[in-house]
Amino acid sequence: LSSRKKFDEIKKANQAAAKKLVEDQFSSSSEDDDEDAEVKQGKILAKTFTIYTSQTDGDASELERTRQYMNEAFQSGAMTCLICIASVKRNQAVWSCCGCFCIFHLVCIQKWAKDSLFLVSSPLTDDDFGKKDYPWPCPKCRFEYKRSETPSRYYCYCGKVENPTLDPWLVPHSCGQICEREFKPPCGHKCLLLCHPGPCPPCPKMVTTTCHCKKAKAVPRRCSAKEWSCRLPCGRMLLCGQHTCENPCHAGECQPCPRVSTQRCICGRQTAERLCASPQWQCDQVCGKPLPCGNHTCEQVCHAGPCGDCPRSGKRSCPCGKSKFTLPCTEDVPTCGDSCDKVLECGIHKCSQRCHRGPCEICRQEVEKQCRCGKHTKRMPCHKPYLCETKCTKIRDCQKHQCRRKCCSGNCPPCDQVCGRTLGCRNHKCPSGCHRGSCNPCPETVDVKCNCGKTVIKVPCGRERTIKPPKCKQLCSRPPTCHHSTREKHYCHFGRCPPCRQSCQKTLMCGHLCPVSCHDEALVKQTGSHQSAGPWEQPSEPAFIQTALPCPPCEVPIPV
């Protein structure tokens, strides 16, 4: 029974290891670079674009941006989660931003949204919490999402299928159905590609449309380029009501009239050369017309309509406003002799002077004032502010540094120091202000090159140490190290070149040419170079040295 139990445990472990191996082979970070994989990738892309290209008579020029996102989905290590700086595999649940179309692990983006909402809502009181739907941003483009839009399930790119099945003949994380997402800007049509990452291409449908000014005949055009100009003069009447628009056929409203004409000001006293688009203008002269009282003149600057009654007519109040007098407009209102009683600038005390003209004086009463932080009191004039020298010891919102502001009211300002923590890429430091929670992902990208430097891929900063260099289609340009003038043709690579397999062709002593493969850099096992110290020492692997071997004896038969 015990042996049977052990056998079952080993069997289950082997089955789990085999399942994991199969899943890893379908991951997007797989290192399968053979020609069959490229042919397979080309077939999948062609299948995805078939319906679209059938509408455009085979023209795929508008698909380059979408093709780039799809190539990254297939390319080794190109799809990287910017939150955890790890590869995104085929068998992992993901989420795609609708703003920048960047792909993240579903677990990572859920944790990011949760942390972001906590940091925004943590300064709030219990009464305020939950009253406002605070947004959380995308880690890359900062596009804001509502709390209710936090992803909770794994969907394909088009959002139709939950938990799409793993299919090696489909784009990773795709359901294989037609996308059918609305085009942006909306035109009434839907995307014709199969479920795909990245933005939808421009609408390929044909529609009949006329130009902006409606003068030209309607012609069939692509829906994505249905707005067009006939380049003829617009001819619409401008707002001035005198001239027409002379610009070529254009979209939107016409520009203001650019012509200049002689126009009078509002009061009609002055004329000036001004733009036809702004006929209403005001000169700097005072009106000066006599008012109905016959004693004063209008003091308004260049105005339209009647001047109105004399501002000194009717009942007028004394300076403190307590008494009213009916006097001719030629006489000034006297002071009433009562106390002023207007509230001073301090907002607490009133003016103790008698009714007077002009502004009141500053408050000079001696009061017991409390400083802003509330720790000290002092008797001093009411109009002077009182700030003590005590420095605030509260921790700022970063939860790291003290406020240290003199006489702080308790509403400490945000921390003004730089965060400076090392980002997840391990290459740069956080340039943001001191903050709580995780730092934003590093926005930089790094070029990963092949050995010759002609093939380059861009990866998020921090991935350059683990990403596999791109496969280069350029021929290796290193000079030969054997006696041959040229190397055998092979692609660009890292490390040493493969051994030369060309025929030696050296002239032997008999005059014939050596027919064997090149042996200038043969690996020879080195023997007798190391003696073991005793039987306890583990035997080391045999060492090989690179050396040139002599040509073998000539094997050409001759008559003797």
pLDDT band at 531 (very low <50, low <70, confident <90, very high): low
Mean pLDDT of 125-154: 77
Nearest to 197 by CA among 106, 97, 88: 97
**Tokens representing residue 537 in the block:** 């020492």
Q: Which residue has the tokens 């929670």?
A: 437
pLDDT interval class at 235 (50, 70, 90): confident
Domain boundaries, the chain: 60-124+132-204, 372-439
The pLDDT, as a whole number, for residue 30 is 38
Is residue 144 a contact partner of residue 161, using CB atoms and an 8 Å limit? no
How high is the mean pLDDT of the chain? 82
Residue 95: per-residue pLDDT: 92
Nearest CA to 28 out of 472, 473, 471, 468 is that of 468
pLDDT tens column, 173-207: 888 888 888 888 888 888 888 888 888 888 888 88
Confidence band for 29, pLDDT divided at 50, 70 and 90: very low
Residue 154 pLDDT level (bands cut at 50, 70, 90): very high
DSSP state of 147: G
Residue bearing the bigger pLDDT, 148 or 539: 148
470 preceded by a cis bond (ω within 30 of 0): no
Report residue 100 as tokens.
């920048």
Residue 119 has pLDDT above 50, yes or no: yes
Peptide bond into 480 cis (omega under 30): no
pTM (predicted TM-score)? 0.57
Instruction: Identify the weakest region by mean pLDDT among 46-55, 248-257, 385-394, 444-453.
Output: 46-55
Residues of the chain with pLDDT > 90, as a percent, come to 3
Q: What is the pLDDT of residue 31?
A: 38
